Amino acid sequence: MAVLWPPCSRQLEGVCALISLATVVLLGHVLLCDFPVVPQELQDFPQGLEEAQPQQPGAGRPESWHTREHPGQPGAAPAQCDIPPNSRFDCAPEKAVTQEQCEARGCCYVPAGQGPGGPLTGQPWCFFPPSYPSYRLQNLSSSEMGYTATLTRATPTFFPKDILTLRLDVLMETETRLHFTIKDPANKRYEVPLETPQVHSRAPSPLYSVEFSKDPFGVIVCRKLDGRVLLNTTVAPLFFADQFLQLSTSLPSQYITGLAEHLSPLMLGTEWTRVTLWNRDLAPSPSANLYGSHPFYLALEDGGSAHGVFLLNSNAMDVVLQPSPALSWRSTGGILDVYVFLGPEPKSVVQQYLDVVGHPFMPPYWGLGFHLCRWGYSSTAILRQVVENMTRAHFPLDVQWNDLDYMDARRDFTFNRDGFADLPATVHELHQGGRRYMMMVDPAISSSGPAGTYRPYDEGLQRGVFITNETGQPLIGKMWPGPTAFPDFTNPEALDWWEDMVSEFHAQVPFDGMWIDMNEPSNFVRGSEHGCPDNELENPPYVPGVVGGTLQAATICTSSHQFLSTHYNLHNLYGLTEAIASNRALVKARGTRPFVISRSTFAGHGRYAGHWTGDVWSSWEQLSYSVAEILQFNLLGVPLVGADICGFLGNTSEELCVRWTQLGAFYPFMRNHNDLYSQPQEPYRFSEPAQQAMRKAFALRYALLPYLYTLFHRAHVGGQTVARPLFLEFPEDPGTWTVDRQLLWGEAVLITPVLEPGKTEVTGYFPSGTWYDLQMVPVEALGSLPLPPLASPSPAIHSEGQWVTLPAPLDTINVHLRAGYIVPLQAPGLTTTESRKQPMALAVALTTSGEAYGELFWDDGDSLGVLERGAYTQVIFLARNNTIVNQVERLTREGADLQLKKVTVLGVATAPQQVLSNNIPISNFTYSPDTKTLAVPVALSVGEQFRISWS
- List, by residue number, the catalytic residues: 517, 520
Determine contact, residues 124/86, Cβ cutoff 8 Å.
Answer: no
- Residue closest to 306 by CA, chosen among 315, 314, 317, 297: 297
Residue of 1, 8, 3 whose CA lies nearest to 224: 8
Closest to 818 measured CA to CA, from 769, 890, 878, 883: 769
Q: Determine the Cα–Cα distance for residues 629 and 645; give it in Å rounded to an integer.
A: 14
String of DSSP letters for 168-215: EEEEEEETTEEEEEEE-SSS-------------S--SS-SEEEEEETT
* d(C-alpha 425, C-alpha 724), whole Å: 41
Local structure of residue 619 (DSSP, 8 states)? S
Q: What is the distance between the alpha carbons of residues 237 and 98, in angstroms, rounded to a whole number?
A: 21
What is the three-class DSSP state of 610? strand
Polymer length in residues for the chain? 951
In degrees, rounded to 5, the angle at the alpha carbon of residue 193 between the alpha carbons of residues 190 and 196 is 125
Cβ atoms of 518 and 497 closer than 8 Å: no
894 phi and psi angles, rounded to 5 deg: -60, -40
| CA gap 227, 29 in Å, rounded | 9
Q: At what angle do helices 380-392 and 423-432 cross, to 10 degrees?
A: 20
Are 372 and 399 within 8 A, CB to CB?
yes
For the beta sheet containing 317-322, the strands, ordered from the edge strand earlier in sequence to the opposite edge, are 239-241, 244-250, 326-331, 317-322, 273-277
Q: Which residue from 232, 237, 270 is spatially nearest to 249, judged by alpha carbons?
A: 232
Let me know if 566 is exposed, middle or buried by CB neighbors in 10 A (0-12, 13-18, 19+): middle
List, in order, residues 6 or more apart from 336 with CB less than 8 Å away.
Answer: 181, 182, 183, 240, 245, 247, 311, 313, 329
Q: Distance between CA atoms of 401 and 372, rounded to whole angstroms?
A: 6
The alpha-carbon radius of gyration of the chain (Å, integer) is 29
Amino acid at 318: D
d(CA 211, CA 218): 8
- Answer yes or no: are the C-beta atoms of 475 and 467 closer than 8 Å: yes
Helix axes 688-718, 654-664, angle to 10 degrees: 30
CA distance 61 to 57: 11
Burial of 869 (0-12, 13-18, 19+ CB in 10 A): exposed
CA dihedral of 590, 595, 598, 601, whole degrees rounded to 10: 110
736: number of CA atoms within 13 Å, CB side?
A: 23
Cα atoms in the 13 Å half-sphere on the side-chain side of 133: 21
Return d(Cα 633, Cα 631) in angstroms, integer.
Answer: 6
Other C-beta atoms closer than 10 Å to the C-beta of 742 total: 22
Residue 570's SS3 state is helix
Q: Write the Ramachandran bin of 334: left for phi over 0, alpha for psi from -120 to 50, otherwise beta.
A: left
